Amino acid sequence: MADNAAMPSSPDSTLPTPHRTDAARSDSAVRAQAAQLLIAPTALEALTLEEALTVVDYMAPLAIDAGVTIVYEGETDDGGFMLLVLAGEVTVESEPVQFDEDNLLVRVLGPGSLMGELSLLDGALSLLDGAPRSATCVASTDIFAAVLTRERFLELLRQDPRVGAKLLLAVSQRLADHLRATTHKLKLFAQMNKVLSAELARNSARR
């Protein structure tokens, strides 16, 4: 894994500088762990282990303290990066409709989970800084992660176009899978709404 990676700063906090950890987490052990998690079903299983090892060589280890906000919903100037959780948990939260309400907990990400991969796709396919972050992500525990910045990703594309293209394909496939799952949920909600509306109409007719 790379020793250093430039990380973005958030409005209220700055992510810690990536650093080497103790001997229990040597470079080789972290590299192997990160590659295995990168091809897990929760990440980019379209990659082979060999391709994952190549991608990991462009990533940097990162330790994040519990309570640190990693990205903020709506921000676009974080430089773009993909984070793979190696240890710990990250909560994904969405801003509420009412300003006086707390953020809504969407899901919890654990080891083998990815976040931020869309920003890499945006950076590769356009000259823009990337789409706004879709949710706020907070380290609910101390986090150990591997980070691929947009700059390192573009370097991967230049130095190893085949693996870079395969990474893009894997990210695109992951996003397509998420879209299909979301579409399925929307269809279920629409069916439920139709059934409930029909039941309300029948109850109103009986009165």
* 38-79 residue pLDDT tens: 999 889 989 999 999 999 999 999 999 999 998 888 776 666
Residue 98 lies in a domain: yes
Residue 17 lies in a domain: no
Assigned domain for 184 exists: no
Structural domain contains residue 8: no
> Is-contact 126 56, C-beta < 8 A?
no
Is 147 among the domain residues? yes
Range(s) of the domain holding residue 158:
23-177
94 within some domain: yes
Is residue 22 within 8 Å of 43, Cβ to Cβ?
no
Residue 39 inside a domain? The answer is yes
Structural domains counted in the chain: 1
pLDDT digits (tens, 9 = 90+) for 132-180: 667 788 999 999 999 998 889 989 999 999 999 999 889 888 777 656 6
CATH code, domain carrying 39: 2.60.120.10
pTM (two decimals):
0.70
